[in-house]
């Protein structure tokens, strides 16, 4: 048995190990600067899994050869027909409904029809090549298919001035001034990017001036949150207050945008006392804040404050995105411990089971998380640029390439609205919290499988007994509605599920009067048998309009008779008003 010569040897060995580990983490952090936070090892692993299985699948290879020949034949047939009938609008393949790149009539004329049809057929062939290869893991298949699609999108003919008929027409019509203006737009954006300045026109949407303008007071503050109590808008209010827990991944005012599309203003106007958490934008000093801190300093501290200010024993709670995930953890823990202060639980675009969490999970594995951890280790947080880039790549056609075509090739200035300004007002994520979130929820699915612990005891979603109002959005790339729907599999309570059109943000910000809005909704009692998502789409009637009135009606059904509004804050209980809304944390950069 080895016996150290003296007590100093283990300490020296430990210091050396730390030095070597820091060297590895520092190298990874430098690599991350050039890869946008994506682990090249994780990508190589997915590619090699696909490539080796395809290389040993002669049947699949033969199928791809046949498909390639069929596509060439179809393309040649259509193009030869167009050669004799130049005005014909024949196509051999149509883009997906959400792909608007080739909507312009010019794409149906020669030679642009050759370019667009060839590209779409190539894209379809690569989808065939990267899917249904036997032996490839599901995650690796999805990752390779996603990566190949992103790479192909770079070379779409719609992205280049000389191969885009709309740009060509605009160039001839303006004498090339569209390209001059586009160059000016590019230089302006580059200068703002280098300076770390917000996008153009974002200054028109400053919190407290154009957005986040619902009047109220900050009645509580700690190192992580400011709690805003909003002024009553009616003579009488429902006795149960509403506590909203937004996601900390972005600023809270997504639910309090302009006056006409603010969920907060709508709820106060319907006779509810509303409280909202405003999360601090973390910095390097907050690197060790974890999920437990967000639960204790965020949700639980706010529950205590709301109860003290209103004097009410029951509280309606609303959680959005990650805020809803955290709120569901709090609700399960409170139910476990006999704390029945939550009257109802509303979850907006919230996942509690992460087995089908969409394209965000494509690269979430041990290799990628290790890469992200090393990247965050250097600064103590995940930077806003990595956060924004991750969401942009999920919708690169809409958020990257189409924007570049409009601004840099068509020469059109970007006119920002309140939702776009909010989206640009990104936040950071603390090192520890983000690491715990990725490991315990995304990677291991601990919450849905009963392994997530609060106060050293597991929390189980089936302990939730209060009524639940669950909202999903049809085109959600962050929290796909079928993933949100999985709450039914773990719930042991009545659940009202509502599916609205729109995406992760625009589907939630869906005020009455908003055009082209519809939704479906069904109610399931605790004793009802399970209805799967496909069956839901069959039996849930389609209703036109905003879903917000349905939420208010549901809350009213679970509320008492109206009473006088509570005072603003409770100085005697230590919750004196501190400053006007929107507070100070919302301005953290």
End-to-end CA distance of the chain: 56
pTM, full prediction = 0.87
Same domain (yes/no): 45, 31: no
Which uninterrupted H or E stretch holds 193?
A: helix 177-195
Is residue 185 a part of any domain in this protein?
Answer: no
What pLDDT is stored for residue 3 in this prediction? 43
Is residue 234 a part of any domain in this protein?
Answer: yes
Same domain (yes/no): 374, 520: yes
Query: Which of 174, 202, 227 is the last residue in one of the domains?
Result: 174
Q: Are 322 and 349 in contact (CB under 8 A)?
A: no
Query: Would you say the C-alpha torsion 511, 512, 513, 518 has a positive or negative sign?
Result: positive
What pLDDT is stored for residue 5 in this prediction? 46
Q: Measuring CA to CA, how many Å separate 496 from each of 488, 489, 536?
A: 10, 14, 12
Same domain (yes/no): 85, 30: no
Q: What is the pLDDT along the chain (589 residues), one digit of tens a residue?
A: 334 444 445 555 566 656 666 566 666 666 666 666 677 777 888 889 999 999 999 999 999 999 999 989 888 887 777 666 655 556 788 887 778 888 898 888 888 888 998 999 999 999 999 999 999 998 889 889 888 888 898 899 999 999 999 999 999 999 999 899 989 888 888 887 777 777 777 778 899 999 999 999 999 999 999 999 999 999 999 999 999 999 998 899 999 999 899 999 999 999 999 999 999 999 889 999 999 999 999 999 999 999 999 999 999 999 999 999 999 999 999 999 999 999 999 999 999 999 888 777 776 777 777 777 777 777 787 776 665 555 555 555 565 778 888 888 988 887 888 888 888 888 888 988 888 888 898 888 999 999 999 999 999 999 999 999 999 999 998 899 999 999 999 989 999 999 999 999 999 999 999 889 999 999 999 889 999 999 999 999 999 999 999 999 999 999 999 999 999 999 999 999 999 999 999 998 7
Please tell me the distance from the alpha carbon of residue 289 to that of residue 291, in angstroms, as a whole number. 7
* CATH number where 259 lies: 3.40.50.1820
Same domain (yes/no): 21, 80: no
Q: Are 403 and 423 in contact (CB under 8 A)?
A: no
What pLDDT is stored for residue 374 in this prediction? 74
What pLDDT is stored for residue 301 in this prediction? 97
Same domain (yes/no): 98, 55: yes
Q: Are 346 and 317 in contact (CB under 8 A)?
A: yes
Please tell me the distance from the alpha carbon of residue 232 to that of residue 436, in angstroms, as a whole number. 38
Same domain (yes/no): 168, 249: no
Is residue 187 a part of any domain in this protein?
Answer: no
What pLDDT is stored for residue 1 in this prediction? 39
Count of Cβ atoms closer than 10 Å to residue 488 Cβ: 19
Same domain (yes/no): 237, 311: yes
- Residues whose CB falls within 8 Å of the CB of residue 68, separated by 6 or more in sequence, listed in order: 125
Same domain (yes/no): 367, 459: yes
Q: Which domain holds residue 19?
A: 8-35
- φ, ψ of residue 396 in degrees (nearest 5): -65, -35
Same domain (yes/no): 242, 132: no
82 labelled catalytic: no
Same domain (yes/no): 314, 446: yes
Q: Are 278 and 203 in contact (CB under 8 A)?
A: no
What pLDDT is stored for residue 370 in this prediction? 75
Same domain (yes/no): 343, 261: yes
- Residues whose CB falls within 8 Å of the CB of residue 314, separated by 6 or more in sequence, listed in order: 239, 240, 340, 341, 342, 343
Q: Which of 276, 309, 321, 360 is catalytic?
A: 321
Is residue 251 a part of any domain in this protein?
Answer: yes
Query: Which of 174, 196, 226 is the last residue in one of the domains?
Result: 174
Indicate the DSSP class of residue 511.
Answer: -
When divided into structural domains, the chain yields a total of 3
Is residue 418 a part of any domain in this protein?
Answer: no
Is residue 45 a part of any domain in this protein?
Answer: yes
Compute the chain's Rg from CA coordinates: 27
Is residue 326 a part of any domain in this protein?
Answer: yes
- φ, ψ of residue 520 in degrees (nearest 5): -130, 150
Please tell me the distance from the alpha carbon of residue 158 to that of residue 167, in angstroms, as a whole number. 9
Is residue 205 a part of any domain in this protein?
Answer: no
Same domain (yes/no): 49, 18: no
What pLDDT is stored for residue 316 in this prediction? 98
State the pairing for strand pair 225-230/495-500: unpaired
What pLDDT is stored for residue 291 in this prediction? 93
Query: Which of 148, 174, 200 is the last residue in one of the domains?
Result: 174
């Amino acid at each position: 048995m080895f016996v150290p010569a003296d007590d100093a040897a283990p300490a020296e060995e430990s210091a050396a190990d730390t030095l070597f580990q820091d060297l590895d983490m520092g190298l990874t952090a430098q690599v991350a600067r050039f890869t946008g936070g994506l682990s090249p090892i994780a990508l190589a692993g997915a590619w090699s899994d696909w490539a080796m299985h395809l290389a040993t699948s002669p049947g699949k290879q033969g199928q791809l050869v046949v498909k390639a020949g069929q596509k060439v034949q179809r393309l040649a047939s259509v193009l030869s027909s167009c050669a004799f009938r130049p005005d014909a609008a024949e196509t051999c393949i149509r883009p997906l409904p959400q792909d608007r790149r080739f909507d312009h009539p010019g794409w149906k004329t020669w030679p642009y029809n050759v370019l667009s049809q060839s590209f779409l057929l190539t894209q379809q062939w690569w989808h065939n090549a990267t899917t249904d290869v036997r032996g490839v893991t599901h995650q690796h298949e999805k990752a390779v298919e996603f990566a190949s699609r992103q790479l192909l999108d770079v070379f779409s003919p719609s992205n280049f001035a000389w191969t885009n008929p709309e740009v060509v027409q605009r160039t001839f019509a303006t004498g090339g001034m569209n390209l001059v203006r586009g160059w000016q737009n590019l230089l302006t954006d580059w200068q703002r990017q280098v300076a770390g300045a917000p996008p153009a026109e974002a200054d028109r949407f400053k919190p407290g001036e154009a957005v986040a303008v619902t009047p109220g007071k900050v009645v509580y503050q700690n190192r992580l949150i400011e709690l805003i109590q909003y002024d009553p808008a009616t003579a009488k209010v429902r006795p149960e207050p509403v506590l909203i827990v937004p996601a900390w991944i972005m600023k809270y005012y997504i639910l309090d945008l302009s006056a006409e599309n603010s969920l907060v203003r709508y709820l106060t106007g319907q006779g509810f006392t509303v409280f909202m958490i405003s999360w601090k934008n973390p910095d390097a000093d907050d690197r060790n804040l974890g999920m437990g801190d967000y639960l204790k300093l965020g949700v639980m501290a706010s529950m205590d404050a709301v109860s003290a200010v209103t004097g009410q024993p029951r509280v309606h709670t609303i959680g959005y995105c990650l805020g809803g995930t955290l709120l569901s953890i709090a609700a399960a823990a409170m139910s476990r411990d006999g704390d029945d202060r939550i009257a109802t639980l509303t979850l907006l675009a919230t996942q509690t089971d992460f087995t089908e969490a969409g394209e965000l999970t494509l690269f979430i594995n041990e290799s990628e998380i290790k890469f992200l951890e090393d990247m965050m280790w250097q600064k103590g947080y995940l930077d806003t640029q990595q956060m924004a880039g991750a969401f942009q790549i999920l919708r690169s056609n809409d958020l990257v390439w189409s924007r570049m075509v409009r601004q840099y090739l068509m020469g059109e200035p970007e006119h920002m609205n309140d939702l776009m300004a909010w989206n640009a007002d990104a936040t950071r994520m603390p090192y520890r919290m983000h690491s715990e979130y990725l490991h315990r929820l995304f990677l291991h699915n601990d919450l849905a499988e009963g392994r997530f612990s609060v106060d050293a005891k597991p929390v189980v979603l089936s302990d939730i007994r209060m009524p639940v109002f669950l909202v999903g959005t049809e085109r959600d790339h962050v929290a796909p509605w079928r993933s949100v729907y999985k709450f039914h599999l773990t719930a042991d309570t009545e659940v009202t599920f509502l599916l609205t059109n729109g995406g992760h943000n625009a589907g939630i910000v869906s005020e009455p009067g908003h055009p082209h809005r519809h939704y479906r909704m069904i109610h399931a009692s605790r004793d009802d048998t399970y209805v799967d998502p496909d069956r839901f789409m069959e039996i849930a009637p389609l209703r036109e309009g905003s879903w917000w009135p349905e939420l208010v009606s549901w809350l009213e059904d679970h509320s008492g008779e109206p009473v006088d509004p509570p005072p603003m804050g409770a100085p005697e209980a230590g919750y004196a008003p501190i400053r006007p809304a929107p507070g100070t944390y919302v301005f953290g950069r």
